[in-house]
Amino acid sequence: MKKYFPLLSFLVIVIVGSSFITKHSLLIKSATTDTVLYTDEKHFKNIQQLTFGGDNAEAYWSYNGKYIIFQRTNPKEGLNCDQIFIGKVPTKPGEKFTYKMISSGKGRTTCAYFLPDGKHIIYASTFLGGNDCPPLPDRSKYGNKYIWPIYDSYDIFLADTSGKIIKQLTKTKGYDAEATLSPDGKKMIFTSMRDGDLDLYVMDLKTEKVTRITHELGYDGGAWFSPDGKKIIWRASRPKTKEEIDEYKSLLKDNLVAPTNMEVYTANADGTNVKQITDLANANWAPNFMPDGKRIIFCSNYEYKRGFPFNMYLTDENGKHIEKITHDKVFDAFPMFTKDGKKIIFSSNRNNGGTHDTNIFIADWVE
C-alpha cells in the first residue's frame, strides 16, 4: 500500500502507497504504442488484461488462485476513492473477468487480502471517520512536494467475502493499514502510527496481541511474509541528515509522508536480523518474495533521473544480480505470484489508449 516520487515540472505523478488517488496510477499519457506485452518481457506468457478503465491496483490472489481481490477508483462510475472488489479469474480463452464491490462504498479503502479459508478478507478503511472520501492534501502548502496522506481514520477490519464486517481488528488512535498475512493466516503484519512513527507491527489474529517489530525513524510499510513465514520484506525510508529528519517529522505531524526515497529491507519475522537489500536511491518499493523464497521482486524508478518510469525487477536475497522484468515506459508494479509460482498478477498503465488508467494484468510466469 498500497500503491512514489519526485515531482517533475512537466509530469503529474499519482502513484502507490497509502491510498492517494489509489496511490498507484500515473496521471500521464503513454508515449508508447499500446500493447499488453513489451519487447524483452521474456518472463511473461499468455498475458491477459483483466480490467479496462479507472485505477485498479493492489490485486492479490486467493490462496487457491481462483479469485483476486483489488482496489478500484473510477469517478466515471461514481467511485471517487478506492473501494474493494473481488473477481473470479478467467480460466478459458475469451472468458470475461467479472467482479463485484464488497466494501461498503463509504470512506476510502485499501490493502485487502484473503484469509486461507477463501471466505474471509482483511482490509483497511476510513469509514468510521465519515462516509465521504477523506480530503486530499494541499501540496502547495508543502512546496508542491509529492506527498501521501496518512489518514488517522484508517483501521483494519475482518470481513467475509460478501462484504459483511465481522470484526474491527485495530482500534488505536492513528493510521493502521497496509496489512497482509502470514502463509498460515495466523498473523497479520501491518503499518501503524500508534507509537508516533510509521512502524511495522504483527498481530496474532487469535489473541489479537500486537508486537512492534521495527524501531528506526522513518516510514516502514508494504510488508509481506516469506513463503515459509520465517522472514518479512518491506519498503522503508531512513532519513539521516538533520534536514531530512526535520522534514519527515514535520510532515508526520500533519499525517503526511513524502515517499520519494525508499529502499527494500528484509528481516526475520520477529523483526530481528534487519538487512537492507537495495541501495539504489530513488523509490524502491512494492517488494515481495518469489515463490522459491530465495529471490525478490520489486518495483523501482532507480534507472531514471527524472523519477519515472517504474518497472519491476528481480534480485537475489543479497540485492545482487538485478534483472529488469518489465519494459513499459510508464508504470508497472504490485507483483504477486500464485502459491505454485505459475502465474503473476500486476498493475500497469500499459495498453490504456493514452488515458490515465491503471489496469490489472495476469500472465503465466516463465523462468
Residue 139 burial (CB count, 10 A): 13
Q: Are 18 and 177 in contact (CB under 8 A)?
A: yes
- pLDDT > 90: what percent of the chain? 87
pLDDT digits (tens, 9 = 90+) for 97-125: 999 999 999 999 999 999 999 999 999 99
Question: Any idea which residue has 503473476 for its cell?
Answer: 344
Q: State the average pLDDT for the chain.
A: 91
Residues of the chain with pLDDT > 70: what percent? 91
CA atoms within 13 A on the CB side of 112: 34
Q: What is the pLDDT of residue 27?
A: 36
Residue 93 pLDDT class (50, 70, 90 cuts): confident
Residue that is written with C-alpha cell 500508534 in the block: 194
Task: Give the CATH number for residue 119.
Answer: 2.120.10.30
Q: Looking at the domain assignment, is residue 47 inside a domain?
A: no
Lowest mean pLDDT among 15-24, 217-226, 243-252, 354-363: 15-24
| Of the candidate ranges 29-33, 155-159, 312-316, 351-355, the one whose mean pLDDT is the lowest | 29-33
pLDDT at 10 over 70: no
**321 to 269, 281, 282, 324, 366: CA distances (angstroms):** 25, 17, 19, 10, 18
pLDDT class of 26 with cuts at 50, 70, 90: very low
Residue 237 has pLDDT above 90, yes or no: yes
365 in any annotated domain? no
Q: What is the pLDDT of residues 142-192, one digit of tens each?
A: 998 889 999 999 999 999 999 999 999 999 999 999 999 999 999 999 999
pLDDT given for residue 264 in this prediction: 98
Give the total number of structural domains in the chain.
1
pLDDT at 32: 52
Q: In this structure, how many other beta carbons lie within 10 angstroms of the beta carbon of residue 305?
A: 9
Range of the domain at 191: 12-33+55-340
Contact 22, 13 (CB under 8 A): no
Most confident of the following: 4-8, 179-183, 307-311: 179-183
- The answer on pLDDT for 250 being more than 80 is yes
Contact 233, 223 (CB under 8 A): yes
Q: Which of 5-14, 121-130, 332-341 has the lowest average pLDDT?
A: 5-14
| The predicted structure's pLDDT at residue 307 | 82
**Cβ contacts of 209-213, under 8 Å, gap ≥ 24:** 211/270, 212/271, 213/189, 213/267, 213/270, 213/271
Give domain status of residue 3, yes or no. Answer: no
Helices (H) and strands (E) in the chain, counts: 1, 28
Q: Is residue 277 part of a domain?
A: yes
Does 197 fall in a domain?
yes
Instruction: Give domain status of residue 357, yes or no.
Output: no
Whether 21 maps to a domain, the answer reads yes
Q: What is the pLDDT of residue 306?
A: 82
pLDDT higher than threshold 50 for residue 90: yes
Residues 6 or more apart in contact with residue 68 via CB below 8 angstroms: 50, 59, 60, 61, 62, 86, 87, 89, 345, 360
Confidence (pLDDT) at 28: 38
Mean pLDDT, residues 36-43: 96
| Residue that the C-alpha cell 515517499 belongs to | 259
| Contact in structure between 69 and 62 (CB atoms under 8 Å) | yes
Q: pTM here?
A: 0.91
Closest CA to 233 of 203, 196, 192, 262: 262
